[in-house]
């Protein structure tokens, strides 16, 4: 299993409404930044996947850091 697969596996894939709103605005901004000729369904899907993958990776990295800090903590 690759690091990317491990990161995605650690992410629950569940986002609260505020997170979804932020991700939606990010997606809309990315699509708007494209020239009209590049706003194909394929490109829209690729952008959505990139945003979700990076979000999942960031959450997984935060979870790893949290676990590490708990492990080294005197109270952990």
| Predicted local distance difference test score (pLDDT) of residue 53 | 86
Query: Percentage of the chain with pLDDT > 70?
Result: 78
CA distances for 61 relative to 25, 28, 46, 72, angstroms: 23, 25, 22, 17
Give yes or no for a contact between 70 and 22, defined as CB atoms under 8 angstroms apart: no
Q: How confident is the model at residue 24 (pLDDT cuts 50, 70, 90)?
A: very high
| Total residue count of the chain as it appears in this document | 76
pLDDT score, position 2: 45
DSSP alpha helices (H): ranges in the chain? 3-10, 17-33, 41-72
Span 42-68, pLDDT tens digits: 999 999 999 888 888 887 787 787 777
Mean pLDDT lowest for which of 17-21, 29-33, 55-59? Answer: 55-59
């Amino acid at each position: 299993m690759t690091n990317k697969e491990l990161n995605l596996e650690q992410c629950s894939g569940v986002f609260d409404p505020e997170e979804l709103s932020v991700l939606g605005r990010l997606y809309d901004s990315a699509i708007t930044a494209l020239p009209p000729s590049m706003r194909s369904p394929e490109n829209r899907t690729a952008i959505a996947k990139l945003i979700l993958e990076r979000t999942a990776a960031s959450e997984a990295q935060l979870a790893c850091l949290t676990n590490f800090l708990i492990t080294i903590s005197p109270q952990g």
